[in-house]
């Protein structure tokens, strides 16, 4: 086995490790948000609405734009690095420009995508935050004795 083969295996496994780490981080974040909502409900507070509000969509679109532009810059950097590596170390300038240039074009496409797709979504005005010290009051729940009995519409089973 050559050094290149071992390096490529390590590179592929590292890519999978990065993806798995990102997924694990996202799962932990969602779990923490869920626990926070449950704790608020247990304390009698009304948790904020989920991400279906316009101000939250704006924050999500800005986050998406930032991620796409960061990805674009990283991919352009990888393309330029490969272009230089193949051109100098491989003594094949035309192959280096071809391979690295294709990856640079892909990175530029990510940058253009970040600019175009999120431009309209970012125009949503953010909602003003509540006043400091303001506390959400949960609606009053009826007592169990105040409710009429549930009306079951199930057929009688033998």
For residue 53, the model assigns a pLDDT of 53
Q: Which residue has the tokens 């995508």?
A: 113
Q: Which residues of 132-144 are buried (b: 16+ CB within 10 A; e: fewer)?
A: eeeeeeeeeeeee
Higher pLDDT, 154 or 67: 67
* Both structure tokens of 8: 């490529």
Q: How far apart are CA 139 and CA 147, in angstroms?
A: 16
* Both structure tokens of 139: 């609606």
Q: What pTM was computed for the model? A: 0.45
The ranges assigned to domains in the chain are 1-48, 50-124
For residue 59, the model assigns a pLDDT of 64
Average pLDDT, rounded, for the chain: 78
* Both structure tokens of 50: 């989920």
Q: What is the pLDDT of residues 137-147, one digit of tens each?
A: 555 555 555 55
For residue 116, the model assigns a pLDDT of 86
Q: What is the pLDDT of residues 24-71, one digit of tens each?
A: 999 999 899 889 989 999 998 888 776 545 555 566 677 888 888 999
């Amino acid at each position: 086995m050559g050094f290149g083969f071992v390096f490529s295996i390590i590179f592929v496994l590292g890519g999978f490790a990065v993806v798995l780490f990102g997924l694990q981080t996202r799962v932990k974040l969602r779990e923490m948000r869920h626990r926070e909502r449950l704790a608020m409900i247990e304390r009698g507070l009304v948790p904020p609405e989920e991400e279906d509000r316009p101000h939250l969509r704006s924050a999500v679109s800005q986050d998406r734009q930032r991620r796409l532009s960061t990805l674009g810059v990283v991919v352009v950097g990888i393309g330029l690095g490969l272009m230089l590596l193949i051109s100098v170390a491989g003594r094949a300038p035309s192959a280096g420009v071809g391979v690295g240039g294709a990856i640079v074009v892909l990175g530029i496409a990510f940058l253009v995508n970040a600019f175009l797709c999120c431009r309209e979504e970012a125009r949503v005005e953010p909602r003003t935050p509540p006043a400091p010290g303001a506390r959400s009051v949960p609606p009053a729940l009826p007592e169990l004795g105040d409710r009429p009995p549930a009306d079951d519409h199930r057929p009688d089973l033998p």
